[in-house]
């Protein structure tokens, strides 16, 4: 059985696609692309697809990940292209790599988010960010199926900063851009929780809903505070495999016989 890991996006209007809607669209794409999927056992077999830490509905993403299991080997890049053309524009498959290492989900420990706050002056955003980062705790509330839940959003936020305005944005309207690095914890701290925290500590309330996009997710480098590529270990293992095979073949080759020896 071959396992392939994919990175895909949720862009434009497709950011409003729920995770269940994406699952249905992806399974249809697998059938259109005639992917030799492995299936679960039981009365209602399903394709063996493992989804990892999907972004909330309504948020865009450049870094969603999943893993599929195949009954026959396929070239990852060819498979990526077939699936990409079989999915609607906005759900784009950007990368495919053969799984050579375990634990993809374990390598998704942090995310980098961009929050675009239309109608908010950059100076107001900077003051709110300073108040948030200076706070020892920032309690926020979230409505769940079990009622209203209160929790501290501050410990999960590793970095929160303002960014220069984007060049393609009109200059006649204020717009603040925030960059957020958040650790994946329980309960999960989402970008809307951080926005609730900014409102709580600095009374920052954007006049329109924020446009939120996940730029990256992966393993957190504790020393640098950066989020690393979760597919890198698989690429490195693939690159190392031919070198290891060549070294083994060279070691197994018989030693040359010196001239003149009996």
- Domain limits of the chain? 2-104, 108-218
Q: What is the pLDDT of residue 225?
A: 85
Class of domain 108-218: alpha beta
C-alpha 226/C-alpha 233 separation (Å) is 16
Q: What is the pLDDT of residue 222?
A: 85
CA-wise closest residue to 54 among 65, 42, 39: 65
Q: What is the pLDDT of residue 133?
A: 96
Buried b (16+ CB within 10 A) or exposed e, 16-37: ebeeeebbebbeebbeebebeb
Query: Would you give per-residue pLDDT tens digits along the chain (262 residues)?
Result: 899 999 999 999 999 999 999 999 999 999 999 999 999 988 888 899 999 899 999 999 999 999 999 999 999 999 999 999 999 999 999 999 999 999 999 999 999 999 999 999 999 999 999 999 999 999 999 988 888 899 999 999 999 999 987 666 556 789 999 999 999 998 899 999 999 999 999 999 999 999 999 999 999 998 888 999 999 999 999 888 665 554 555 655 565 656 655 4
C-alpha 130/C-alpha 202 separation (Å) is 9
Judge whether 2-104 and 108-218 match in fold. Answer: yes
- pTM: predicted TM-score of the whole model, two decimal places: 0.87
Q: Within 74-210, where are the H helices? A: 76-86, 122-134, 191-202
* CA distance between the termini of the chain: 50
* 2 contact partners, CB below 8 Å, separation of at least 6: 69, 70, 72, 73, 74, 98
1 HSE (CA, 13 A, CB side) = 10
86-96 pLDDT per residue, tens? 999 999 999 99
Residue 37, classed as helix, strand or coil, is strand
Q: What is the pLDDT of residue 89?
A: 95
Given the candidates 1.10.287.1400, 3.60.150.10, 3.30.70.580, 3.40.1180.10, the CATH classification of the domain at 2-104 is: 3.30.70.580
The angle, 0 to 180 degrees and rounded to 10, between the axes of the packed helices 191-202 and 122-134 is: 90
Beta strand pairing call for 147-152 and 139-144: antiparallel
Q: What is the pLDDT of residue 98?
A: 97
Contact 123, 184 (CB under 8 A): no
C-alpha 106/C-alpha 233 separation (Å) is 12
What is each CA distance from 194 to 11, 160, 186, 198, 239, in whole angstroms? 22, 9, 15, 6, 40
Q: What is the pLDDT of residue 262?
A: 47
C-alpha 205/C-alpha 125 separation (Å) is 10
- For 138-171, the DSSP string reads -EEEEEETTEEEEEE-TTTEEEEEEEPPPTTS-T
């Amino acid at each position: 059985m071959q396992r392939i890991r994919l990175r895909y996006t949720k862009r434009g209007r497709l950011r409003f696609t729920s995770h269940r809607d994406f699952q249905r669209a992806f399974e249809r794409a697998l059938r259109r692309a005639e992917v030799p999927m492995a299936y679960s056992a039981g009365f209602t077999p399903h394709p063996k697809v493992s989804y990892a830490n999907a972004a909330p509905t309504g948020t865009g993403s450049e870094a969603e990940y999943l893993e599929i299991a195949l009954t026959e080997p396929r070239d990852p890049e060819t498979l990526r292209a077939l699936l990409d053309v079989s999915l609607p524009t906005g759900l784009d498959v950007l990368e495919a790599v053969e799984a050579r290492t375990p634990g993809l989900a374990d390598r998704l420990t942090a995310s980098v988010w961009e929050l675009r706050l239309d109608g908010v002056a950059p100076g107001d955003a900077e003051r709110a960010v300073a108040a948030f980062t200076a706070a020892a705790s920032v309690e926020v509330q979230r409505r769940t199926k079990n009622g209203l839940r209160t929790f501290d959003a501050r410990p999960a936020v590793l970095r929160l900063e303002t960014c220069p305005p984007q060049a393609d944005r009109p200059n006649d309207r204020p717009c603040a851009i925030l960059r957020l690095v958040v650790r994946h914890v329980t309960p999960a701290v989402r970008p809307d929780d951080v926005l609730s925290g900014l409102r709580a500590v600095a009374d920052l309330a954007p006049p329109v809903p924020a446009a939120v996009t996940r730029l990256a997710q992966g393993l957190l480098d504790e020393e640098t505070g950066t989020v690393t590529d979760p597919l890198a270990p698989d690429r490195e293992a693939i690159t190392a495999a031919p070198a290891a095979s060549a070294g083994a073949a060279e070691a197994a080759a018989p030693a040359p016989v010196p001239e003149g020896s009996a």
